[in-house]
Amino acid sequence: MSVQELDLKQEPPCTSGLGNYLWSDPPDEKKWADCVHCGMCLESCPTYEQTGQEQHSPRGRVHLIKSVAEGTLQVNEQFIDPVFQCLDCRACTTACPADVDVGGLIEEARGQIRQAMPLTGVKGAISKFFLHDLFPHQNRLNTLGGLLKFYQKSGIQKAVRKTKLINVMPQHLVDMESIMPEVKEPVKKKYKDVKVIKAKGETKQEVAMLTGCVMDVMFSDINESTINVLTRNGNDVVIPQSQTCCGALHVHAGDRDMGRKLAKQNMEAFKDFDKVIVNAAGCGCMMKEYAELFKEDPEMHAKAEEFSEKVEDISKFLHDTGYEKPNAEMNTRITYHDACHLAHGQGIRQQPRDILLDIPGVDMVHMPNSDRCCGSAGIYNITNPEMANAVLESKMENVPDDVEMISMGNPGCMLQMAMGVQKYGRNQKIVHTVQLLDWAYQKEDRMKEGEE
């Protein structure tokens, strides 16, 4: 169904569209104005690398988005596929001499697509369940986490795997189940009655922490490590209970209205704090770009810009404010993967590497193309499994063989890289940067107590 066909059945909700974008919040023409289709972006694009097709390149997508705005192309299936096949990894913007914000254009175009052609049937029901009924509700996520924990601990998981019942699911979901981390108590739930988690020793400052939605269910141990490292380095930590999902998954899926609702809730939850610490690259990037969601609301746009200045990735925060360098040796060979939304989205590259190099006994091995996307891209590995697997295969070819650990700063990347390690017969351990620092601190404390 094209936009015009849809328009015969219902009146567009506003008239502030652009060309064949008939709804509010269309792609910003300022973002494509500097694109001269030079091709500098081509080699940086994972989907162009796999397909060799112009419409699956950054400049090709920019041309399509611009064509709809100029009225020479419709919002139809031919437009949808290139826009939703994009990983939104932002590598093209890094490569672009003019810094064309292709990622921003993609997200705005997806918003138009989902208003013009909403998902229906089974796909619509699944999307609504996850994006509206699950991720924004921490209590429901905690219930799901409890069920997953029971599944893991009760013996059901072993039985399902042993009897091959797991194989009734699509292969990419079977692969994801096989590397699912051990589910533990969410940090937000654990500290719900604790107003402030006090610093160990003298307090330097107070910070708030985003616990995330899926992050706190599947990777609560990373959240716990983040708290340990922050308090170890003189920070009182507050976990606002009214915080919610950052909205990245919604915006990537084209649900910008829900993205705005979640953004407003988080801005209110963290309004009394000067620093909001985030340990998930995708969440941090989204929160620093909240202003993009409020282009047509000057008051909220200004508030969002002010809020974004508070948001900081844990590695950058530690690097900029100073941290205690551990004394215990970890004695491991490690390589580092640049999460797209940390390196390309936030420009954070050296800070996590410096933290790792400050841990005694860490031997850092360079990963070629370390800032190449792994194929996770939020839930891209679920919605576009074939392309995600092709991108993952390309990524794993660059992972050095002679390392014991692969470190990174994003939970989605951790799951995807864990699948890569298993699929290609590797034995590397996947770790978050802040985890290794926390482990070094813990080992140092045990040594002081004579336990090691």
Indicate the domain borders of the chain: 3-116, 187-319, 325-448
The domains spanning 187-319 and 325-448 adopt the same CATH topology: yes
Domain 187-319 class in CATH: alpha beta
Higher pLDDT, 290 or 130: 290
pTM for this model (two decimals): 0.92
Neighbouring C-beta atoms of residue 204, cutoff 10 Å: 13
Residue of 316, 310, 321 lying closest to 352 (CA atoms): 316
State whether the Cα torsion 76-249-135-167 is positive or negative. positive
**Cβ pair 281, 432 in contact under 8 A:** no
What is the rounded CA–CA span in Å between residue 268 and residue 363?
Answer: 43
Query: What tokens does 112 get?
Result: 């138009």
Query: What tokens does 77 get?
Result: 């299936």
Torsion angle of C-alpha atoms 4, 10, 14, 20, degrees rounded to 10: -10
Coil/strand/helix, residue 276:
strand
**CATH (residue range 325-448):** 3.40.50
Total residue count of the chain as it appears in this document: 452
Q: What is the mean pLDDT of residues 16-34?
A: 89
What is the rounded CA–CA span in Å between residue 107 and residue 250?
Answer: 10
Residue of 447, 396, 435, 403 lying closest to 418 (CA atoms): 396
**Cβ pair 335, 436 in contact under 8 A:** no
* 81 HSE (CA, 13 A, CB side): 8
Looking at the chain, the whole-number percentage of residues with pLDDT higher than 70 is: 96
- For residue 177, the model assigns a pLDDT of 84
Q: Is residue 272 pLDDT above 70, yes or no?
A: yes
Q: Is residue 5 pLDDT above 80, yes or no?
A: no
What is the rounded CA–CA span in Å between residue 282 and residue 107?
Answer: 14
Task: Look over the chain and give the mean of its residue pLDDT values, rounded to a whole number.
Answer: 92
List, for residues 276-332, the tens digit of each pLDDT value: 999 999 999 999 999 999 999 999 999 999 999 999 999 999 999 999 999 999 999
- For residue 450, the model assigns a pLDDT of 77
Q: Is residue 17 pLDDT above 70, yes or no?
A: no
Residue with tokens 């997508």: 61
- For residue 405, the model assigns a pLDDT of 98
**CATH (residue range 3-116):** 1.10.1060.10
Looking at the chain, the whole-number percentage of residues with pLDDT higher than 90 is: 81
* 133 HSE (CA, 13 A, CB side): 8
**Cβ pair 33, 65 in contact under 8 A:** no
Which helix (H) or strand (E) segment holds residue 118: the answer is none
Fill in the DSSP letter of residue 240: -
Paired strand residues for 235: 205
Q: Is residue 1 pLDDT above 50, yes or no?
A: no
- For residue 451, the model assigns a pLDDT of 66
Would you place residue 219 in the very low, low, confident or very high pLDDT band (cuts 50, 70, 90)? very high
Classify residue 11 as exposed, middle or buried by CB count within 10 Å of its CB (0-12, 13-18, 19+).
exposed
